[in-house]
Amino acid sequence: MKIAPYLMFDGNCREAFTTYETIFGGRIVAMMDHRGTPAEAHVAAHWVDKIMHACLELDGQMLMASDAPPERSDGPMRSVSVSVNVPKIAEAERLFAALSEGAIIQMPMEETFWAPRFGMLRDRFGTNWMIGAEMPADRANCG
C-alpha cells in the first residue's frame, strides 16, 4: 500500500509545486492543466490553465496536487498538514527556512521531547507543514 498526500490549491498549484521541487530536490513527473482535456469543458474559461493534476516525486514517494475550482471546494488545505521527517538537524532547519518565506510560523523550529528539531508553518501557498529531524532510533516513536 502507498499513501500519498493530495493537496488542493486555490489557483497557485503550478507555482507551489515548482517551488517545492526546488526546496525538496524532487522531480515533477506530471503537471497537467485543464486545457485540451475533456475536463476543459467543465471549468470556467479563466480556470483552463490551472492545474488539474500534478505529481512531485520525492525519494520514491509522491506528493500530488491540483487547483480546486472555487465552486467545487470548501477552501484549500483545510485541517491537514504534510509531515516531513529527515535524518539530519541541518536538513530540517534548511527545509523549514526555505518554506518560511512569506509563511505563518505556527511553531518555530526548536528542540522538543519527541525530536531534536521540529517546527510547524503554513507556507505562502496555504500548505501546512510539520518539519522534523528524526529522533535517534532508541527514542523514536512514529518514524
Question: Is the pLDDT at 138 greater than 60, yes or no?
Answer: no
3-state secondary structure 97-123: HHHCCCCEEEEEEECCCCCCEEEEEEC
pLDDT for the residue 117: 96
CATH topology match: 6-69 vs 81-133:
no
pLDDT in tens, 41-78: 988 899 999 999 999 999 999 999 999 877 777 776 77
Domain 81-133 CATH assignment equals 3.30.720.110: yes
Where b means 16+ CB within 10 Å and e means fewer, 51-87 reads: bbbbbbeeeeebbebbbbbeeeeeebbeeebbebbbe
Q: What is the CATH code for 6-69? A: 3.10.180.10
Dig out the grid coordinates for 3 from the structure: 499513501
- Residue 72 gets the label, from left (phi > 0), alpha (psi -120 to 50) or beta, of alpha
Q: How is the chain split into domains, by residue range?
A: 6-69, 81-133
pLDDT for the residue 139: 57
pLDDT in tens, 96-121: 999 999 999 999 999 998 899 999 99
